[in-house]
Amino acid sequence: MSSQIPVKQVDPATDASSNNKNTETVELYASRKKIYVKSVKGFFQRIRFVSLWALMGMYFLFCWIHIGGEPLLYFDLPAREFHLFGTTFFPKDFIMLSGMLIIAAFGLFFITTLFGRVWCGYTCPQTVWTFIFMWVEEKIEGSRNKRMKLDKAPNSAEKMIKKGAKHAVWLLIAFATGLTFVGYFYPVHDLTIDLFTLNANGWAYFWVGFFTLATYTNAGWLREQVCLYMCPYARFQSVMFDEDTRVVAYDFNRGEPRGGRRKDADKDELGIGDCIDCGMCVHVCPTGIDIRDGLQYECINCALCIDACDEVMEKMDYPTGLIRYATEHELEHKTSKLLRPRTFGYGAVLVLMISALVYTLVTRVPIELEAIRDRGALYQMNGRGMIENSYTLKIQNMTEIPQTFSITVSGLDSVRMLGDNEITLGASESLSLPTVVEVSPDALQGTNNNITFTVKVEGNDELMAEKESRFLGPNR
């Protein structure tokens, strides 16, 4: 099957015979060309340095930190417990997870309408790990020119040592990444010991190996290919862009026409713009594009080209900002609006969802109560002439400390529980408690009556849960 598509340049001003001469062939599947990113320093790179190490620090440390004996972040799937910042959540709290995912999505949409793909440029895990791998590559193999020269050089001891050292460090970082990720689902202290003593189960080895290989491949080999072809965000981001979205942009009116010149040359006499056509913006781009060609879906708004161009402008004694964060309207010398209908829409939904999630968290009661009536019997009369119904109460302590609970029942005159009405449960402990409720026949209002079970924490009446159930009696 051919991997080439014939493309014909159609020009209505020419005849069919001349059109055939303009036919060219375009590659449908182009092989990857390795991108050698040049190191650059500047304002935006300092921002990325802080965000990168902050995110990496949180990722690698949070699974090791414990508060009151409980892990800061730990997802205990077998026990169906999810420990987040000192609070334990359970499957019934998954509605809050849905809320957090909606908030994350609309937060991304809101930021994208304002500032383009800044998520990709500063906080995306693929970007973070790729920049770390690129930093390792530069430290071991040298600058951009040295790396290019090394790759073209024939195999030698020096080349093998440098390549081997680079891949060894990459694999070490990838292994630490995989171990840490699995450590959020498997106690990381036990996981580390079990892995190296060969006592871990097969799934632990599989998942650590899987995420090690995925990190090594994505950050070390695929790099920009993930952003260009695998990430769906690159494809639908343009839907959220408009003329007032602030993105990394080249000031065409100021920079064109391009041309090289001496520092002391008069550009006005030469009839050229501020762009000296040095190619630095291309050399530092991690996706290999030329920002001077206009907005492209490959651009991840990392601002490397801004810092590189500003450095060149300063050397030429030109004003900085030839490449900068700007809107299309600003480049056309028009007024740009920060707030517009789509930002109001995304912002309103975002505020609404955040408010709903905060309200749910604030009003969440860390007690779960279920009252299940014994379906095997309708009712029975005891020796004191009272009507009895049997129930199973399922009580769960969703706090991080042991709690003593008192259990009461209400809803009918003379209703009361038989047996213990006080229990103590440990942190995150649950209990199924069989119990019997009795009511005087005179208090019944029919065959089907409403009663309410209430569980309270001793010494804290605000921590309570209620559950309604049915009490059956004889037909009067």
| Measured distance CA(357)–CA(416) in Å, rounded | 38
In a domain, 273, yes or no: yes
Looking at the structure, tell me whether residues 389 and 467 fall in a common domain: yes
CATH of the domain at 431: 2.60.40.10
Ranges assigned E (strand) in 294-447: 323-326, 367-373, 380-381, 387-397, 403-410, 416-418, 422-425, 430-439
Name, in order, each residue with C-beta under 8 angstroms of 195's C-beta and a sequence gap of 6 or more.
Answer: 179, 204, 205, 208
Looking at the structure, tell me whether residues 381 and 458 fall in a common domain: yes
Looking at the structure, tell me whether residues 325 and 246 fall in a common domain: yes
Which domain does 416 fall in, by range? 367-472
Looking at the structure, tell me whether residues 327 and 371 fall in a common domain: no
In a domain, 397, yes or no: yes
Looking at the structure, tell me whether residues 260 and 320 fall in a common domain: yes
In a domain, 314, yes or no: yes
Taking the CB of residue 114, how many other CB atoms lie within 10 A of it? 20
pTM of the model: 0.82
Looking at the structure, tell me whether residues 320 and 371 fall in a common domain: no
In a domain, 377, yes or no: yes
Q: Are 45 and 302 in contact (CB under 8 A)?
A: no
In a domain, 276, yes or no: yes
Q: One digit per residue, pLDDT tens: the chain, 476 residues? A: 444 444 444 454 544 444 445 555 655 556 778 999 999 999 999 999 999 999 999 999 999 998 877 889 999 988 888 988 888 888 888 888 889 999 999 999 999 999 999 999 999 999 999 999 999 999 999 999 999 999 999 999 999 999 999 999 999 999 999 999 999 999 999 999 999 999 999 999 999 999 999 999 999 999 999 988 888 888 888 788 999 999 999 999 999 999 999 998 999 899 999 999 999 999 999 999 999 999 888 999 999 999 999 999 999 999 999 999 999 999 999 999 988 998 999 999 999 999 999 999 888 888 999 999 998 888 999 988 999 999 999 999 988 889 999 999 999 998 999 988 899 999 888 999 999 999 999 999 888 999 999 999 988 878 899 999 999 998 76
In a domain, 226, yes or no: no
**What is the secondary structure of 66-130 as a DSSP string?**
EETTEESEEEETTTTEEEETTEEE-GGGHHHHHHHHHHHHHHHHHHHHHHSSHHHHHT-HHHHHH
Residue with tokens 């909606």: 102
Handedness of CA 290, 292, 294, 299 (dihedral sign): positive
| Measured distance CA(445)–CA(440) in Å, rounded | 11
Looking at the structure, tell me whether residues 309 and 263 fall in a common domain: yes
Name, in order, each residue with C-beta under 8 angstroms of 432's C-beta and a sequence gap of 6 or more.
Answer: 392, 393, 394
Looking at the structure, tell me whether residues 277 and 325 fall in a common domain: yes
In a domain, 412, yes or no: yes
In a domain, 451, yes or no: yes
The number of folded domains in the chain is 3
